[in-house]
Amino acid sequence: MSKLYTDLEIPQLKITLKQPLGLFINNEFCPSSDGRAIETVNPATGKTITSFQAASEKDVDKAVKAARNAFEGVWSKTSSEQRGIYLSNLLKLIEEEQDTLAALETLDAGKPFHSNAKKDLAQIVELTRYYAGAVDKFNMGETIPLTFEKFAYTLKVPFGVVAQIVPWNYPLAMACRKLQGALAAGNTVVIKPAENTSLSLLYFATLIKKAGFPPGVVNVIPGYGSVVGKALGTHMDIDKISFTGSTKVGGSVLEASGQSNLKDITLECGGKSPALVFEDAELDKAVKWLANGIFFNSGQICTANSRIYVQSSIYDKFVKKFKETAEKEWDFGKNFDPFDKDCVIGPVISNTQYDRIKKFIELGEKEEKLSMFQTSEFPVRAAEGYFIPPTIFTDVPQTSKLLQEEIFGPVVVVSKFETYDDALKLANDTCYGLASAVFTKDVKKAHMFARDIKAGTVWINQTNKEEAKVPFGGFKMSGIGRESGDSGVDNYLQVKSVHIDFSSDK
């Protein structure tokens, strides 16, 4: 029989855990039908951690059938109060297991444990608490008077079986944003983690079972996107699919829906988020926020402020402070160990991503001949992992590929602007529209920017500070639909209209 568990040791934290490796279907871990497995690599060392089961199309069918049976047989009849109890049970377990879950994110995704992974878990706790309390508050319909003898009412009902595909940059946080909202709304779920960061969600599945969720309500099926993702997108018995990842793959998910059963779609795709710094901004505050907004999580954030536009009168001063902050505060640590407290910026996810970012850097430096600053010598090979130093390109023209294309690493471009209208035009000159930021003391200017920018999220005098209560999603090619906040439940509900006529024949 294929290996379904392994013992993992994390000596830096003195943690030993029993790590599930199988597919999680009907509250049990099971082998894949064809015996395929995927190696997962520690990006800080380049070494294999373990191998886990990779689902086949047959396994997708099995998981979807389990979710359908659970929805029709149990979950659709479960009261909102009881669903809230299950989520509250899950919340307690997450709180108890925070260090273990964060450690798995560090091991598998390279997130610095103290400054990054634990913050992700704190957000997951906040989000789960929010949805546990939201279950019976956001799925209410309305009554609509029509005539003296007729009225109508609406019901908000779950879709049924929901498929969810989550990315590798926030393996557990993104999964929880989708999963907890769908469960609160009353759906059953088949969820696919990214093939290079599946460990934390597989371990999380053990908490789902401990929390008391009935078999089949949540099914976790790791595997290759070309197999599992494609099968979920085209499956005729899935009612809705929620995807977070690249714009290219998001388009494929949308296309698959159209070619199958027109399943409802939520997409959160790429971004090239602008940040504007006006001459009246609190400069030190802006520098600190913007450094965090591009270097946190090694720049592997869809909302990363990877384009910074600074008013020309303060441009040189900003650039000087920004470089100093990057060099002083964003360090790999002496041992290149994400478990070390001194490690603030970790590796990028894989050798493939390392090479891709490296090509962008070489393009900017050698082909486009841009002015470049890095906090340490590149390439960084003090460890065998995939470490890329914070990289800043200045005086970057709007036509540069580095300014137009999503790099998804700790690389930022900085450019000048003169007037508000000039800055707005530059900021909106992109096919993306996920997030944006503006730094100014001028209240009128700040709210004008919020009105005029074509982006789903606007931060004023801060950046990349997400809240569980606030809807999140993109404009243009950054996606369709919203998650988090009340949208995180409404997103997984559909409206049914009921007409009542109590007139009598005369």
* Letter string b/e over residues 141-156, b meaning 16 or more CB atoms within 10 A of that residue's CB: beeeeeeeeeeeeeeb
The percentage of the chain sitting over the pLDDT mark of 70, rounded to a whole number, equals: 98
Contacts for 45-50 with beta carbons within 8 Å, 24 or more apart?
45/383, 45/384, 45/385, 46/351, 46/384, 46/385, 46/386, 47/384, 49/8, 49/107, 49/108, 49/199, 50/6, 50/8, 50/19, 50/21, 50/199
Catalytic annotation on 268?
A: yes
Least confident of 56-65, 106-115, 377-386: 377-386
User: Which of helix, strand or coil describes residue 498?
Assistant: strand
Whether the CA torsion 483, 485, 489, 490 is positive or negative: it is negative
Give the pLDDT mean for 334-343: 92
Give the pLDDT mean for 259-282: 97
pLDDT digits (tens, 9 = 90+) for 183-200: 999 999 999 999 999 999
What's residue 134's pLDDT? 87
Q: Is the pLDDT of residue 418 over 50?
A: yes
Least confident of 90-94, 362-366, 381-385: 381-385
Count the helices and strands in the chain (H runs, E runs): 15, 24
What's residue 1's pLDDT? 45
- Give start-end residues of each CATH 3.40.605.10 domain in the chain: 9-269
Give the pLDDT mean for 20-30: 98
What's residue 2's pLDDT? 67
Could you give the residue ranges of the DSSP H alpha helices within 268-388? 283-295, 315-329, 351-362
Q: Is the pLDDT of residue 400 over 80?
A: yes
**For all residues of the chain together, what is the average pLDDT?**
95
Q: Taking the mean position of all CA atoms in its chain, how far away is CA 478?
A: 13
The percentage of the chain sitting over the pLDDT mark of 90, rounded to a whole number, equals: 94
- Residue 137 pLDDT grade (very low, low, confident, very high; cuts 50, 70, 90): confident
What's residue 140's pLDDT? 80
DSSP string of 107-119?
HHH---IIIIIHH
pLDDT digits (tens, 9 = 90+) for 84-116: 999 999 999 999 999 999 999 999 999 999 999
pLDDT digits (tens, 9 = 90+) for 208-251: 999 999 999 999 999 999 999 999 999 999 999 999 999 999 99
- Give start-end residues of each CATH 3.40.309.10 domain in the chain: 274-470
**268, 329, 405, 406: which is the annotated catalytic residue?**
268
Strand partners, 161: 188
Q: Is the pLDDT of residue 377 over 80?
A: no
Residues 6 or more apart whose CB falls under 8 angstroms from that of 186 comprise 75, 76, 78, 80, 83, 139, 157, 158, 492, 493
Maximum CA extent, the chain: 90
What are 358's two structure tokens?
Answer: 């490296």
- Using a 10 angstrom Cβ sphere, with 0-12 exposed, 13-18 middle and 19 or more buried, the burial of residue 491 is buried
Q: Is the pLDDT of residue 376 over 90?
A: no
Topology of domain 274-470, per CATH?
Aldehyde Dehydrogenase; Chain A, domain 2 (3.40.309)
Taking domain 9-269, whether its CATH number is 3.40.605.10 is answered by yes
Q: Which of 235, 244, 237 is nearest to 266 (CA)?
A: 244
DSSP string of 53-76?
E---HHHHHHHHHHHHHHHHHTGG
Give the residue with greater pLDDT, 134 vs 207. Answer: 207
What are 495's two structure tokens?
Answer: 């409206």
Alpha-carbon distance of 225 to 205, in angstroms, equals 20
Supply the DSSP symbol for 485: T
